[in-house]
Amino acid sequence: MVPKKILFCTDFSENSRPAWELAVDYAKAFGAQLLILHVIDFLGYFDWPDKLLEIVKETGEACNERLQLMAKEAQLAEDAKIYCRTGTAPIEIVELAQEESVDLIVVGTHGRTGVKHLVMGSVARSVLKTAHRPMLIVEGPAEKGESFERSK
């Protein structure tokens, strides 16, 4: 299968950088359209409903600016499409992948293990369970104090 549409999902962290580079390389190599998505997680702001719209609007504007810079950085023959959505990341990723008939989803992961993984969860893992389409999950640099070496 040669992907025609590649969805790259970012949280704008350094951990997503290796996944970004692979998504751009794949889009160039396959001549695929690149879709770039960031999800603004609005959970936790429900206590301030008046502030919510203001926060989401400001965050959305900043998000779109960063996504436009990324699209320009990619320097693809076919223009990249950008999406800034509000909601829960795994749900929004899967919905966009279905809406756009994406052939490949590329996400980065923090590479957390053990208790950190259980407490914080994993967007990549949730998407993998529900997207029902090919995914490329790229582990980012180890967190301070962690090593990529796994016990045997």
Which pLDDT band holds residue 85 (cuts at 50, 70, 90)? very high
For position 91, what pLDDT does the model report?
A: 94
For position 26, what pLDDT does the model report?
A: 96
150 is a domain residue: no
Residues forming beta bridges with residue 33, ordered by sequence position: 5
The chain-wide mean pLDDT, for the chain, equals 83
148 is a domain residue: no
112 is a domain residue: yes
State the pTM of this model.
Answer: 0.82
What is the number of domains present in the chain?
A: 1
The CATH number covering residue 129 comes to 3.40.50.620
For position 55, what pLDDT does the model report?
A: 75
Which pLDDT band holds residue 150 (cuts at 50, 70, 90)? very low
Residue 20 has pLDDT above 60, yes or no: yes
Tell me the residue range of the domain where 117 lies.
Answer: 5-139
Instruction: Say which residue, 6 or 117, is predicted with more confidence.
Output: 6
